[in-house]
Amino acid sequence: MQIEFRAFSADCLIMGKLDLTAPRLTDMLNAEPTIHLTEVVLEALIDGHRLAIPDYTLHRDEVYAVKVTGPRGSKALRIVTVPHRVQAQIGPYNVLGRLNAAPGIDALRTIPDRGVMLPLTDATIAYVVGGILEVRDASTVIINRELASWVRAADRDEALSGATHSRVGDPAGCPRSAVKGAPHLSIGGPGQRGYPASMSRDQPPVEIGRMAEARGAARADRNWAEADRLKAGIEVAGWRVIDAGSAFTLQPAHPPDIAEGEAVRYGSSASVPSVLGEPPRAALTLLRAVPDDAPRVGVINDGPGAVQAVLVANRPVAALPAGEPEVVLLNGWLGAAAAVNAGLRRAQGAIVVVADPGLDLAVAQLAALERALDDEHVAVAGPWGLTSDDLRHWQPAARSAVVAMAIDWRLIAFRRADAIARGPLDEAFVDAHRLDVWWSLVLRDGGPDAPPRVARVVDVGLPPRETLNGAVPTAGRAAAERRNFYRLVRHFGGARHLAGDLAGLDARD
């Protein structure tokens, strides 16, 4: 039996047709680690862009939620249950629904014993597409409990202090940055211009305040369904509503900024004070994002000179390189792209060089990258190029190559002005895998009607490229890399104008 299929993943909605091979969709999703879809349409959460592809293989650990269609299963097998109203946060999605359990049973306590894919009936799912809040009702929404940040009771008169939570996992690679500040933290590509101003942590946007007021009116009218819909929208937008009788307060849902003496640990990249509205004050910024598993921080061997050094970390850095770098501390590791975004907001150099945390460099090597960017046709430069025949599978460019399709993340240079115009980086890249390709293509892309700029390979005397250090533990690395692969394909899988004749691109005047 073929059914319409609609799934919700880390950064897109997935629509297609599925051959149902079990009595119910929930049964099939729990039994099969992968499913194959046909006539597929992918809709990006970031900008609503749609991409149609003939088929798509979806892994269960990429599915955050599924809207149920198809049969409900045999009536003869149904048992008497009691519905319990619950709320769940899964990546960028907030879901309200009814979790059914046998009479006299605490429904939340049964979650660890159930299948990975957990059905909620009479459900509402809220999320943001292209900066616009979407709130959708469904007879049943199946959630992936292994990807849920939490599932809690959602009693109609619930006070926050009385809520019951079930921590159902904090999986490696779960892109929590997609949840934080969804409407105001732009994560994009070509066509999205500029960094947003850092939003006040104390004052919610006007539209969120209006939603909270409308929710209060719905509660006063005992319209619990409407109140639930509005609450889901508020929370997916990055805010928590805390009720106190007929009054309420709004608090940010993402980690707070924490003052530690004179230092501050920032809960999101957007809360780092930005200098990007000011003119450059240095020739170069050397930016290193230091994950917990980085064994050391590299040095600039012949002195920093006119180089501004910025380190981003979520723990004190024991051995700092020379030159008194500026250290941006995070309140927990936010992911590879978010960490770079945090550092970029402090960049004062006209050229920004992002380097592997342990890579020792010399000023002369950085200057060689700077000179490559003197050519207006060059968008990005570095010593290790990447190339692809199909914009899906990538390999190192030949050592003799002078141009490539992308530059390896271990050492990559670009203009600060381009980062402002085309950034920030997509924070759904929690792991660094293929972030280098995505950012290189973003910087190179002039659109289908303009020739792409060049990724320049510059020999700066470094050995052949090595494996990237990841920001996700090994146990979750494969899943994170797979998510990044699909994310890259959705953005640039059809951008053939970025492949083209590399030799011809290099020959331009």
- pLDDT tens digits, 26-44: 999 999 999 999 999 999 8
Q: Which of 195, 224, 254 is the last residue of a domain?
A: 254
171 and 33 both lie in a single domain: yes
- Contact (Cβ atoms closer than 8 angstroms) between residue 505 and residue 452: yes
Total domains in the chain come to 2
Q: Which of 195, 222, 254 is the last residue of a domain?
A: 254
322 and 450 both lie in a single domain: yes
- Contact (Cβ atoms closer than 8 angstroms) between residue 34 and residue 58: yes
134 and 238 both lie in a single domain: yes
295 and 225 both lie in a single domain: no
The verdict on whether omega for the bond into residue 424 sits within 30 degrees of 0, i.e. cis, is: yes
Amino acid at 315: R
The larger pLDDT score, comparing residue 156 to residue 249, is at 249
| SS3 (DSSP) at 473 | coil
Distance CA 55, CA 39 (A): 6
313 and 429 both lie in a single domain: yes
62 and 31 both lie in a single domain: yes
142 and 177 both lie in a single domain: yes
Q: Which of 236, 254, 272 is the last residue of a domain?
A: 254
Mean pLDDT over the full length of the chain: 79
308 and 447 both lie in a single domain: yes
- Segments forming the whole domain that contains residue 315: 260-506
Q: Which residues contact 65 (CB under 8 A, 6 or more apart)?
A: 7, 8, 90, 93, 95, 125, 141, 142, 143, 144
220 and 363 both lie in a single domain: no
Distance CA 491, CA 481 (A): 15
DSSP state string for 379-425: EEEESSEEEESSSSSEEEPPTT-SEESEE-TTEEEEEHHHHHHH-S-
pLDDT tens-digit profile of 328-341?
988 888 889 999 99
- CB neighbour class for 112 (10 Å; exposed up to 12, middle 13-18, buried from 19): exposed
For residue 413, the domain's CATH number is: 3.90.550
Q: 498: pLDDT confidence band, cut at 50, 70 and 90?
A: confident
Say whether pLDDT at 279 is over 70.
yes
pLDDT at 384: 94
121 and 159 both lie in a single domain: yes
pLDDT tens-digit profile of 214-260?
888 888 888 888 888 888 778 767 677 877 666 777 776 667 778 87
- Contact (Cβ atoms closer than 8 angstroms) between residue 82 and residue 215: no
DSSP state string for 137-158: EEEEEEEETTTEEEEEE--TT-
Distance CA 456, CA 378 (A): 6
What's the rounded mean pLDDT across residues 72-98? 77
Amino acid at 436: D
Q: What is the pTM of this model?
A: 0.58
220 and 276 both lie in a single domain: no
- Contact (Cβ atoms closer than 8 angstroms) between residue 261 and residue 439: no
pLDDT at 280: 93
pLDDT at 229: 81
283 and 222 both lie in a single domain: no
